[in-house]
Amino acid sequence: MFVCGIVFVELLFSQLRHRDGARSWLMAWAATATLLYAMHLNYFSGQLRFYECFDTIYVVCNLLVYPLYLIYIYKLTDLRPLSSRRWELACFIGVPVLMGGLVGTMYLLMSQGEREVFQHEFLYHGRTSSIHGLALIMTRIHQLCRVLFAVFLIVSCIFGIRQINRFNHSLEQFYADTEQRHMGRQRAVLWALMVCSIVSFVVNLFGRQHFESHSWTLYVLSVLFSVMLLYIGWLGLTNTFSIIDMHRDLKEPTPSAEEHEETKETEKPDDRYCKLMALVQQTMDEDHYFLQNDLNLNTLALHVGTNRTYLLQAIRQCEGVSFSEYINRQRIAYAERLKAEYPEMHAEELAQRSGFSSVSAYYMNRRRYAHHSEKK
């Protein structure tokens, strides 16, 4: 609870300094997680005063926390407005609110005796055999919430991983240097989220009452969750690149598509692409254009007199790789030649002279593409 609260405060101050649409959803996630664990604290403290209200809030937050993080991923990686996902939003936000409203209504309808039986038998001891009437209906609602929680966490993880993979693929089609833009850290966040999800599911499967008699497991889970949640919040605070930045960079520098319209009718697409790639490769061999810092598809397209759509199609069709792989293969081949000519050269200088943004980027691409340069 305290970790989530600290993350929320940090995100709030960050939003006050510089408003960010994606981070506002992460802030909503942190606030929801803070409330959720505050309700956990109330449960394990055994305070039954106002428990009807606390349990209602718990149901809403428990179902809402993972969908909110998924929406944060959407805002980082997709330009489409959330209104285009209205059915997902209706499900992810509407269902938790509906179930919370249903739980709150049932508490109002139950008598004091039924509330006490429900709390004592089901919430604190996990028994259902002696529960009847409205208390039994309330028990079924809570069991349904556990199923919904499992569904939401699975859907959130699957959709989130798929969305990040799509975004990373788009990065590799446009940027040569993807290290500082790649959603690798966000993918790590999602894996951390999946670990938390599995543990959360186990907690809900056994029931919170199981941990009253095994307090050590509660401490272990608390530490695990705290580390995971702190990591998620830290990555959210330090993230500096999103789909908005990519969209800004994607703007064509010049409307040069018309230059290829003249040959469209007289040449086959394959011929045009091959001629374009021959020109691009000539630029690489003679001008070493791949050494340009932070090279992207627009810059290279402008240099060879075409547009990025044509250039990307040519690279895909003639080379069978992404733009990022094509450029970094050229850099690795150049680095291997430098290394052979100057064996004493340090890795830092080798990376810098080969066009890489960092030593880590050089080593990463060397592991991927060094065998291609050896074949050449």
Same domain, yes or no: 75 and 158: yes
Nearest to 241 by CA among 291, 184, 295, 189: 184
22 or 261: whose pLDDT is higher? 22
Phi and psi at residue 268, to the nearest 5°: -75, 150
Asked if the model's pLDDT at residue 255 lies above 50, the reply is no
- Tell me which amino acid residue 234 is: W
pLDDT of residue 370: 73
Which one-letter DSSP state was computed for residue 286? I
Q: Can you give the residue range of the structural domain that contains 172? A: 2-249
Same domain, yes or no: 37 and 87: yes
Same domain, yes or no: 166 and 30: yes
Range from 226-235, 289-298, 338-347, 359-368 carrying the lowest mean pLDDT: 226-235
pLDDT of residue 263: 43
pLDDT of residue 37: 85
CA–CA distances in Å: residue 180 to residues 120, 176, 318: 53, 11, 28
The H or E element spanning position 161 is helix 133-174
Residue in the block written with tokens 């907690």: 203
pLDDT in tens, 340-354: 999 999 999 999 999
Q: What is the mean pLDDT of residues 233-253?
A: 84
When pLDDT is cut at 50, 70 and 90, the band that residue 111 belongs to is: very high
Range from 55-59, 168-172, 263-267 carrying the lowest mean pLDDT: 263-267
Asked if the model's pLDDT at residue 262 lies above 60, the reply is no
69 or 270: whose pLDDT is higher? 69
Find how far residue 269's CA is from the centre of its chain: 37
Query: Which of the listed residues 220, 249, 278 is the one where a domain comes to its end?
Result: 249
268 or 302: whose pLDDT is higher? 302
Percent share of the chain, pLDDT over 70: 85
Nearest to 63 by CA among 236, 201, 227: 201
- Whichever domain contains 48, its CATH number is 1.20.1070
Which burial class, exposed, middle or buried, applies to 252 when counting CB atoms under 10 A from its CB (0-12, 13-18, 19+)?
Answer: middle
Query: Which of the listed residues 249, 284, 300 is the one where a domain comes to its end?
Result: 249
Same domain, yes or no: 138 and 210: yes
Find how far residue 365's CA is from the centre of its chain: 23
Query: How many domains does the chain fold into?
Result: 2
Asked if the model's pLDDT at residue 125 lies above 80, the reply is no
b/e sequence 297-312, b meaning 16+ C-beta within 10 Å: bbebbbbbebbbebbb
Query: Which of the listed residues 205, 227, 249 is the one where a domain comes to its end?
Result: 249
Helices (H), 207-307: 215-238, 243-250, 269-282, 297-304
Find how far residue 36's CA is from the centre of its chain: 22
d(CA 264, CA 270): 11
Asked if the model's pLDDT at residue 309 lies above 50, the reply is yes
Q: What is the mean pLDDT of residues 253-274?
A: 56
Same domain, yes or no: 83 and 214: yes
Q: What is the mean pLDDT of residues 317-339?
A: 93
d(CA 206, CA 199): 11
pLDDT of residue 212: 56
Average pLDDT, the chain: 84
pLDDT in tens, 167-214: 999 999 999 998 878 887 777 777 776 776 676 666 656 655 555 555
Same domain, yes or no: 284 and 224: no
DSSP 302-368: HHHTS-HHHHHHHHHHHH-S-HHHHHHHHHHHHHHHHHHH-TT--HHHHHHHTT-SSHHHHHHHHHH
Number of helices (H), then strands (E), in the chain = 16, 0
Residue in the block written with tokens 């791949």: 290
Which burial class, exposed, middle or buried, applies to 340 when counting CB atoms under 10 A from its CB (0-12, 13-18, 19+)?
Answer: exposed
Q: What is the mean pLDDT of residues 216-233?
A: 74
14 or 374: whose pLDDT is higher? 14
Same domain, yes or no: 258 and 168: no
Which one-letter DSSP state was computed for residue 91? I
d(CA 297, CA 293): 13
pTM score:
0.84
Same domain, yes or no: 244 and 340: no
Q: What is the mean pLDDT of residues 220-231?
A: 76
- Tell me which amino acid residue 56 is: T
Same domain, yes or no: 77 and 49: yes
pLDDT of residue 146: 87
Long-range contacts, stretch 16-24, CB < 8 angstroms, 24+ apart: 21/75, 21/244, 22/72, 22/75, 22/76, 22/242, 23/72, 23/236
- Whichever domain contains 336, its CATH number is 1.10.10.60
Same domain, yes or no: 260 and 243: no
Q: What is the mean pLDDT of residues 243-269?
A: 61
15 or 290: whose pLDDT is higher? 290
Find how far residue 198's CA is from the centre of its chain: 17
pLDDT in tens, 141-150: 999 998 898 8
Structure token digits, residue 20: 């960010």
Same domain, yes or no: 225 and 311: no
Find how far residue 233's CA is from the centre of its chain: 12
Same domain, yes or no: 107 and 221: yes
